[in-house]
Amino acid sequence: MTMDERPPHLIFDKENKATRDPAWIFRTYAGHSSARASNELYRANLSKGQTGLSIAFDLPTQCGYDSDDSIARPEVGKVGVPINSLDDFHVLFDEIPIEKMNTSMTINGTAMWMLSLYVALARERGIDTTLLSGTTQNDLIKEYLARGTYIFPPEASLRIIAEMYEFCIDSMPSWNASNICSYHLQEAAATPAQELSFALVNAIGLLDLLKERGRFNDEDFERAVGRISFFVNAGIRFVEEMCKMRAFSELWEEITRDRYQVKNRKFRLFRYGVQVNSLGLTESQPENNAWRILIEALGVTLSRSARCRALQLPAWNEALSLPRPWDQQWSLRLQQILAYETDLLEYPDLFDGSLVIQSKVEDLKRQARREIEVILGMGGVKAAIESGYMKSALVRSMSARMKAINTGEQLVVGMNKWTEGIPSPLLSGADGGIFKVDPQATRGALGSLERTRKNRDPYRAKRALDALQEAARSGANMMEPSIECALARVTTGEWARALRQVFGEYRPATGVDGQKLGLENDRVDLLRGRIDALVQRLGHRPRLVVGKPGLDGHSNGAEVIAVSARHVGFDVIYSGIRLSPDEIVLSAVEENADVIGASVLSGSHLELADQIMAGLRSHGAEQRVQVVFGGIIPPTDFAQLYAAGVKAVFTPSDFGLVEIMEAIVGLIERAPA
């Protein structure tokens, strides 16, 4: 068949035979409790037809603390697997052939450390590192903006990313040293144009940096451009999302060709993986989320020219708790049906030539280009982070979204419309349809950490850490010293502490300014009246300490609460993220606060509640200060929280900010004077 005779609805292989595209990589974001438990989960998932690994690390590992650190304890094994040393990696990848695996690690602040552990694992197994393929997420820009698991200040973080690219280019040519993430921007309510432009200026910032460092010749630089990959979100407006992906591909082609003169077409390809949207998943009528996930998956698979390379789907009950193995399996089955049962992979791009799609794509590109120019004009992504420009843009988008949902302008089925329904039988099982980490399971992490410290050669570990600090100070590449640390059984906390001592630690702006909450209504006036009455009665304006205990960095919820509380007339003490329970208690004690509002999304609410209550008792302030919790907290835990002394619990279904404020004011009104 000649080219002209090919029917346009078929795909052809190199031998000119009609064929079908291979499926994208199926992943499930997973990991919990301990290296052993996670290894069992991975092997089970692979045997069910999952084709790549996506490692979820727990927060102490992400923030660079050992499992036995006091700030780490309540979080160990909660949202992912705890990794303290190379010994844990040996267990985590037990019986998994890493040379044949595509492994994605959601790791940022400690990305260089996890990559070093992976390389060390390969060396101890006698595997050629050039065979390793996968990704370390390693996008610190979005950590500063939205996710919060950064450790070092921007300059040091960017240097670490650059050094990983420089290491990988020859030693691990199939490894993505970082992933430009727009995923978390959409979770923070970014609009499609913001997602496009912020992600692309982020990539530009990285490539400019690599160029400026001058470690690459032209050919290597071109290859480095080819290694830039993206991690994208897909929301419920799935036609627009598909257009966004096409816009991404086209803009990336433009940027790599015009700004960086990349000649090889292969290195200009927009490569991306997807996790579909979690922000829009609802706690009420959670079974509806199954449909949302399916529709969102279509947005990133329908268009062949903008199809994802790898896809991971959340589970229907993610707004309630971490998913159980069955919930993850159900999401994996969706991918398998879409790829193997349907005819989706048999066709060329379905939308080429569509005027509607083309016009929509052009419109998104126009908006994105304008925003890119604005940010480059102010000095690029680093300047836009440091000035708070991007953060406040996102905070405004989040406020607009919440306002639209509050007023019903944006319809969410089962949440602000058609809220009556038959209770879901999916939630009526013995476990209430949610996953519980076995508190015993994390003990294993502490035991293995102790063994590692006892069995290693302390002098080799010390020398390795000294060499790491020396490289950090001198500006030499830190990868090899880090790999030696891994081989010497240095622990995650030790590695991070050594570099904290050199680079310092980043404390961000809180981003609470400039929020518009759409709360100007009669109920706010009523609340202000009640607070004025309290001022008269108590002799002081009610004081609220908003705290984000623990290591989870999703600060937007806490910030919205802080701003709302000031808006109705509280004096609010907000001290940012990553505080120990003791620090929050001390704030409340010294400030003589009426209420502590703690926001927790990591699943550690029970432990944190106990720690906060114990702290208040140690100061004799447990009668004075009332404690409320907010976050992702399953209803089955409410009773235990109340028993611990917590007065109220707010979950994402309590989306009405005014209702939350009314409840807190009510608590103060009812407190004994």
Partner 1 sequence: MTGPGPPDAELVARALEQDRFAVAQLVSLFEDRRPTAMERRARVLEAAEVHPRRHSATVFGITGTPGCGKSTLLSRVVPDLLAFREELTVAILAVDPSSTISGGALLGDRTRMKLEHDEPRLFFRSQASDTQLGGLSPSTFRVCRLLSRLFDCVFVETVGVGQSEDDVRSVADKTFLVLQPHGGDEVQFLKAGIMETPDAFVLNKCDDPSTERGYHQLRSSLWLARPFDADEVPIFKTSAKTGVGVAELVASLAAHLAAEPSRRPERRDALFLERWVREEWGRAGSRFLEVLGGAEHHVRVSGGVERAQVQFELRFREG
Give whichever of 423 and 672 is closer to partner 1, judged by the CB atom.
Answer: 672
Instruction: Say whether residue 510 binds partner 1 (CB under 8 A).
Output: yes
Structure tokens at 399: 């406020």
Give whichever of 310 and 563 is closer to partner 1, judged by the CB atom.
Answer: 563
- Contact indicator for 446, 60 with CB cutoff of 8 Å: no
Between strands 18-19 and 11-12, the pairing is antiparallel
Number of residues that bind partner 1 (CB under 8 A): 39
Instruction: Say whether residue 673 binds partner 1 (CB under 8 A).
Output: yes
Instruction: Say whether residue 571 binds partner 1 (CB under 8 A).
Output: yes
Instruction: Say whether residue 73 binds partner 1 (CB under 8 A).
Output: no
Give whichever of 211 and 541 is closer to partner 1, judged by the CB atom.
Answer: 541
Which of the ranges 121-129, 380-388, 487-495, 559-567 carries the binding residues for partner 1, by CB under 8 A?
559-567
- Contact indicator for 217, 269 with CB cutoff of 8 Å: no
- Residue 551 has what DSSP assignment? S
Instruction: Say whether residue 590 binds partner 1 (CB under 8 A).
Output: yes
Give whichever of 108 and 555 is closer to partner 1, judged by the CB atom.
Answer: 555
| Alpha carbon distance 241, 505 (integer Å) | 36
Instruction: Say whether residue 528 binds partner 1 (CB under 8 A).
Output: yes
Structure tokens at 172: 């691990």
Instruction: Say whether residue 63 binds partner 1 (CB under 8 A).
Output: no
- Tell the smallest beta-carbon distance from residue 617 to partner 1 (Å): 11
- Tell the smallest beta-carbon distance from residue 596 to partner 1 (Å): 13
- Contact indicator for 658, 524 with CB cutoff of 8 Å: yes
| Alpha carbon distance 354, 660 (integer Å) | 47
| Alpha carbon distance 131, 172 (integer Å) | 7
- Tell the smallest beta-carbon distance from residue 103 to partner 1 (Å): 36
- Tell the smallest beta-carbon distance from residue 518 to partner 1 (Å): 15
Instruction: Say whether residue 117 binds partner 1 (CB under 8 A).
Output: no
Give whichever of 123 and 528 is closer to partner 1, judged by the CB atom.
Answer: 528
| Alpha carbon distance 131, 125 (integer Å) | 13
- Contact indicator for 442, 311 with CB cutoff of 8 Å: no
Instruction: Say whether residue 555 binds partner 1 (CB under 8 A).
Output: no
- Tell the smallest beta-carbon distance from residue 589 to partner 1 (Å): 5
Q: Pattern of binders to partner 1 over 396-435, x per CB under 8 A?
A: ----------------------------------------
Instruction: Say whether residue 575 binds partner 1 (CB under 8 A).
Output: yes
Instruction: Say whether residue 7 binds partner 1 (CB under 8 A).
Output: no
Please select the residue that binds partner 1; options are 215, 271, 619, 647, rule is CB under 8 A.
619
Look at residues 230, 158, 164 and name the one whose alpha carbon lies nearest to residue 386.
158
Instruction: Say whether residue 576 binds partner 1 (CB under 8 A).
Output: yes
Instruction: Say whether residue 155 binds partner 1 (CB under 8 A).
Output: no
Our CA dihedral for 338, 344, 350, 356, rounded to 10 degrees, sits at: -20
Indicate the helix (H) or strand (E) that contains 167.
Answer: helix 154-171
Q: Pattern of binders to partner 1 over 283-312, x per CB under 8 A?
A: ------------------------------
Give whichever of 565 and 595 is closer to partner 1, judged by the CB atom.
Answer: 565
| Alpha carbon distance 653, 159 (integer Å) | 41
Instruction: Say whether residue 630 binds partner 1 (CB under 8 A).
Output: no
| Alpha carbon distance 199, 372 (integer Å) | 10
3-class DSSP assignment, residue 263: coil
What is the end-to-end Cα distance of the chain in Å, rounded?
A: 89
| Look-up of token digits 């208690």 | 585
Burial 338-348 (b: 16+ CB within 10 A, else e): bbeeeebbeee
Q: Pattern of binders to partner 1 over 191-230, x per CB under 8 A?
A: ----------------------------------------
Task: Compute the radius of gyration of the chain from its Cα atoms.
Answer: 25
Sign of CA dihedral 216, 221, 227, 233: positive
Which of the ranges 55-63, 275-283, 324-332, 580-588 carries the binding residues for partner 1, by CB under 8 A?
580-588
| Alpha carbon distance 299, 294 (integer Å) | 9
Give whichever of 402 and 562 is closer to partner 1, judged by the CB atom.
Answer: 562
Instruction: Say whether residue 512 binds partner 1 (CB under 8 A).
Output: yes
Between strands 29-30 and 626-631, the pairing is unpaired
| Alpha carbon distance 375, 517 (integer Å) | 26
Give whichever of 347 and 389 is closer to partner 1, judged by the CB atom.
Answer: 389
Please select the residue that binds partner 1; options are 586, 663, 667, 671, rule is CB under 8 A.
586
Positions that interact with partner 1 (CB under 8 A): 507, 510, 512, 528, 531-532, 535-536, 539-541, 562-563, 565-576, 582-583, 586-587, 589-592, 619-621, 624, 672-673
